[in-house]
A and B are shown apart, each in its own frame.
Chain A
């Protein structure tokens, strides 16, 4: 072992480490400056947090006594028929939210599944026509995703009118954007060797898709579907605030009328519903993959 070239190598490695450190330090300084800028741009103010504390305290105090009559069916004036069920007012709107999320996810997936095959680079970018379609669909989906669900909600509420239906439309549209991205990425991550093996048996492209691609992507597809559903439950809660029906509508009403006890009940139901769905959905997803 000659130590002269080793010394040279060691010195060079040391230089690299120092250069890396200098770069990281510079990055740290830039990041710090950026944070200061955002602090100013957002008018962040610890002072306001302190002077407005009594306000927040008042709302919180109102929240201490949630109005449980809103969830009990049969309390005069607060129960609603939901299909053949008789439920309390808040559960009625919660179920409406849930229904929006389920239907939105279903409609979204029906559109997204075929689109995702067309948006998968490994399947499409094999000739100029395929590449063209691929880029077209990808761009379209990016545009759909770039518009927030709440914007879609406002657009549909203004064109269709108030209620859960425009909410479903907004959620469906956003789901198409999200699912086509997740699904197509799952397709792009498949093991191509399995596709080759089926092609080598003399199978036609549809058969290869059915027997070679399908089994590989199915578990991920279901997992992504469930994940989208979780996201959609959140979205369905929010679209109510812009007139899209569901529990968000109630949330806005109560806060505008300073009915904190009722608002607290809405909050409790929302939290319980969302957590129950997130947990069960995540548990199923873990089992699939």
Chain B
């Protein structure tokens, strides 16, 4: 996968989209095969080296996975944890530079005015923006988005995808996004990978995905 691409993984429930994404940053261990990042095999990494590799990949979740009882700012600051070293990791505080970065991420997602609010007091769309800010504060090269819009209403979903596209285009962050919504995947992706029962059944540009391809992916006629 080349740098800077916006790739959407589509496929029915249980086809292996989330498993694929989670294998990339080793939240899950693949049963076989390799994950190569700049020629480095991530499946062989352990401990500090694995954490350093994870630091390069921000992750966004379907259920946002914010620390719900912490404030928005504290949540975004956790994006910096992978950079703390030695004795600093034992302190519950962050450097001034980290704070500035967190604030800029919040401003980027236009949610800085909620910085002191507890995360569980926000709406779903706002929580997902905070989660993206957290991933952004990580200064990643890649963002893994696991069904980022599946828990959101249609309008909010588009807003969130617009932020992701902006981050992809402006910052050159590679985006790997699993997504249920076929039409939105076609609209936002540079490239689409379709999975069915753990196998890749399509890999190519979105405009070559037609009704015939749709049928092989979802095993039935017609669009949703």
Contact = CB atoms under 8 A, between A and B. Distances in A.
A98 to B, nearest CB: 43
B113 interface: yes
A9 interface: yes
Interface in B94-114: 99, 103-104, 107-108, 112-113
Contact of B116 (A1, A5, A6, A16): A16
Interface residues of A, number: 8
Interface in B188-210: none
Contacts of B115: 9, 13
A13 B116 contact: yes
A12 B113 CA distance: 10
Contacts of B10: none
Nearest to A7: B103
B103 A10 contact: yes
Secondary structure class of chain A's binding surface, majority of residues: helix
B185 interface: no
A114 B61 CA distance: 44
Q: Give the interface size class of chain B.
A: 10 to 19
Interface string B112-138: 110110000000000000000000000
B108 A9 contact: no
A239 to B, nearest CB: 42
A16 B107 CA distance: 19
B173 interface: no
A17 to B, nearest CB: 8
A12 B116 contact: yes
Interface string A5-37: 110011011001000000000000000000000
A211 B116 CA distance: 45
A9 B116 CA distance: 9
A9 B99 CA distance: 13
B107 to A, nearest CB: 5
A63 to B, nearest CB: 43
B16 to A, nearest CB: 31
Interface in B68-109: 73, 99, 103-104, 107-108
B91 to A, nearest CB: 14
18 contacts: A1-B104, A1-B108, A5-B112, A6-B103, A6-B104, A6-B107, A6-B112, A9-B103, A9-B112, A9-B113, A9-B115, A10-B99, A10-B103, A12-B116, A13-B73, A13-B115, A13-B116, A16-B116
Interface of B: 73, 99, 103-104, 107-108, 112-113, 115-116
Interface of A: 1, 5-6, 9-10, 12-13, 16
Given A1-B107, A9-B113, A12-B116, 16 more contacts: A1-B104, A1-B108, A5-B112, A6-B103, A6-B104, A6-B107, A6-B112, A9-B103, A9-B112, A9-B115, A10-B99, A10-B103, A13-B73, A13-B115, A13-B116, A16-B116
| Shortest 9 CB-CB contacts between residues of A and residues of B | A1-B107, A13-B115, A16-B116, A9-B112, A13-B116, A6-B107, A10-B103, A6-B112, A13-B73
